[in-house]
């Protein structure tokens, strides 16, 4: 993580209502896991919720910004490494949420099931009603249950957002 991004993260944490419970770790997932206190049964403190927007492009995608390109390529955090870490960190009754390209969903779900993580809810994201499904919001747990499948359309037309998208994102955007 570049120094300015890390500094912005720290500033955001300090300005948060939860500042006393947040800490910015500058480490890879594997380093983070290795640094956690562990007992005979594994990692002592597990998480009830893990949310990840992982780097997910498997193909070379160039934006002209090397740092951005590296951050977006799944070679920097392959899906199997992410899921291995999540399976170690997640509490038995915890939930793991992520977003990935729709075309990667099948492989991701198969990898997750190898780690005993099972889909709980899937939301298929479309840019517009007439466009193809672009992303999948996935929610996993260690419990097998019937999967709820939903669809979310982002825009009615360019820059005119659907009511569902506005309701979902309004707390996170200044101009929504």
What average pLDDT does range 20-31 have in this prediction? 86
Kindly state the average pLDDT of the residues 69-76.
55
Task: Between 25 and 75, name the one with better pLDDT.
Answer: 25
Q: Is residue 113 part of a domain?
A: yes
Is residue 21 one of the residues assigned to a domain? yes
- pLDDT recorded at residue 22: 87
pLDDT in tens, 94-143: 999 999 999 999 999 999 999 999 999 999 999 999 999 999 999 999 99
- The answer to the question of residue 174 being in a domain is no
Q: Quick check: 72 pLDDT over 60?
A: no
Q: Is residue 175 included in any domain, yes or no?
A: no
Q: Is residue 4 part of a domain?
A: yes
Identify the pLDDT of residue 115: 97
Same domain, 78 and 106: yes
Structural tokens at position 161: 């957002």
User: What CA–CA distance (Å, rounded) separates 94 from 48?
Assistant: 4
What CATH number does the domain containing 75 carry? 3.40.50.150
Number of folded domains that form the chain? 2
* Domain of 50, in residue numbers: 45-169
What pLDDT score does 9 carry?
87
Question: Which has the minimum average pLDDT: 10-19, 63-72, 88-97, 103-112?
Answer: 63-72
**DSSP bridge partners of 141:** 118
108 in Cβ contact with 138 (< 8 Å): yes
**Residues 160-171 as b or e (16 or more Cβ within 10 Å = b):** ebbeebeebeee
The answer on pLDDT for 35 being more than 90 is no
Whether 90 maps to a domain, the answer reads yes
pTM: 0.81
Instruction: For residues 20 and 50, state if they share a domain.
Output: no
User: In terms of pLDDT, which residue wins out, 43 or 47?
Assistant: 47
């Amino acid at each position: 993580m570049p120094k300015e991004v890390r500094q912005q993260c720290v500033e955001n944490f300090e300005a948060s209502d939860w500042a006393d419970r947040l800490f910015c770790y500058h480490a890879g997932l594997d380093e983070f896991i290795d640094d956690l206190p562990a007992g005979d049964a594994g990692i002592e403190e597990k998480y009830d919720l893990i949310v990840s927007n992982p780097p997910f492009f498997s193909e070379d995608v160039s934006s002209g910004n090397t740092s951005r390109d590296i951050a977006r390529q799944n070679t920097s955090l392959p899906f199997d490494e992410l899921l291995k870490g999540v399976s170690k960190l997640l509490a038995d009754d915890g939930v793991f949420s992520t977003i990935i390209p729709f075309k990667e969903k099948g492989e991701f779900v198969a990898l997750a099931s190898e780690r005993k993580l099972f889909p709980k809810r899937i939301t298929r994201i479309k840019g517009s009603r007439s466009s193809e499904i672009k992303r999948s919001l996935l929610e996993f747990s260690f419990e097998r249950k019937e999967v709820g499948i939903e669809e979310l359309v982002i825009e009615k037309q360019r820059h005119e957002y659907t009511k569902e998208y506005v309701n979902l994102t309004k707390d996170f955007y200044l101009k929504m």
